[in-house]
Amino acid sequence: MTTEGLERVEISLNGSGPAHEQRLLVVLPALNEQESVAKVIGEIRASRPDADVLVVDDGSTDRTAERADAAGALVMRLPFNLGVGGAMRAAYRYAHESGFTSVVQVDADGQHDPREIEHLLAVRDADVVIGARFAGRGSYVVKGPRRWAMRLLSFVLSRIIGVPLTDPTSGFRLVHGRALALFAEHYPEEYLGDTVESLVIAHRAGLSVAQVPVVMRARETGVASTNPVRSAVYLLRVVVAVGLALIRRRPESEHR
């Protein structure tokens, strides 16, 4: 960890910090990403030297946390696996309490190019900015039933939210002030909830959502599934996630 990071933590502990100034936290939820995490952190620090980097180690059994620490990131070690939603809620709460004004989520597997963060930050007047595939830039292709599921999902969500969204399940997203405060308390942790339901929650809270076309790199490890059974299950879960997001009450009264 750098002394810069330490100062930031100190500010957060005192609970003060300049409110007008933008402070960006780049969050990488990571589960067993020891091969790629250090490289991604290096790229982020190169392209955004002003930002702090937080790796949320979501119960990894490999050396993800060590390597992230060595690469100069703040590391939040979760005691067991919570999934991306839980990891992000912890990160949003940390960012909110520490006085950050913006949080950008980046995959630790190298799928998202940190240089694209600029494009997300360039959007004004939106509380949530999604870095989207299938929006004109990049050549990412998905085929078969999984593609239909994604099409259906983007169609329904675009209608609900009133903004064209070509890639609502994208994990590459930027969250500002008010949305950050909301997500620090209420961020769905269920499957697809972190991406899909969170947008509906933000929209219902009167926040604005926008998307920016980004180029995504091919995954460095693992291949996207093309198994028809899995795709069908995915489609079903999409329907369930959207349905739940629609019928659930606004999460304001659940304060515990």
Partner 1 sequence: MTDLRLTIFSVVVAVAALVLVVELLRRRRLREKYAVIWVVISIGTLIVAIFPSLLRGVAQAIGIQTPSNLLFFGSLLVLFAVSLQLSREVGLLEEQSRRLAEEVGALRLRLDAMEKRADEAAAAQDATEQQKAERGA
Using CB under 8 A as the criterion, which residues of the chain lie in contact with partner 1 when the complex forms?
1, 3, 5-6, 9-10, 13, 56, 74-80, 82, 86, 89-90, 93-94, 97, 189
CA 233 to chain centre: 23
Distances, alpha carbon 182 to alpha carbons 14, 128, 187, 211, 241, in Å: 22, 11, 8, 19, 20
* Pairwise CA distance, residues 40 & 29, whole Å: 12
Q: Which is nearer to partner 1, 40 or 74 (CB)?
A: 74
CA 1 to chain centre: 23
Q: Which is nearer to partner 1, 23 or 89 (CB)?
A: 89
* Pairwise CA distance, residues 254 & 195, whole Å: 21
User: Cβ 92 to partner 1, closest distance in Å?
Assistant: 10
User: Cβ 86 to partner 1, closest distance in Å?
Assistant: 5
SS (H, E, C) 51-110: CEEEEEECCCCCCHHHHHHHCCCEEEECCCCCHHHHHHHHHHHHHHHCCCCEEEECCCCC
| 162 dihedral zone (left: phi>0; alpha: psi -120 to 50; beta) | left
Q: Which is nearer to partner 1, 6 or 218 (CB)?
A: 6
User: Cβ 125 to partner 1, closest distance in Å?
Assistant: 30
* Pairwise CA distance, residues 33 & 219, whole Å: 12
Q: Which is nearer to partner 1, 78 or 123 (CB)?
A: 78
User: Cβ 215 to partner 1, closest distance in Å?
Assistant: 32
User: Cβ 1 to partner 1, closest distance in Å?
Assistant: 6
Q: Which is nearer to partner 1, 12 or 47 (CB)?
A: 12
Q: Are strands 128-132 and 74-77 parallel, antiparallel or unpaired?
A: unpaired
User: Cβ 230 to partner 1, closest distance in Å?
Assistant: 25
User: Cβ 91 to partner 1, closest distance in Å?
Assistant: 9
Longest dimension (CA), the chain: 53
* Pairwise CA distance, residues 22 & 69, whole Å: 24
Q: Which is nearer to partner 1, 50 or 254 (CB)?
A: 254
Q: Which is nearer to partner 1, 51 or 210 (CB)?
A: 51
CA 206 to chain centre: 20
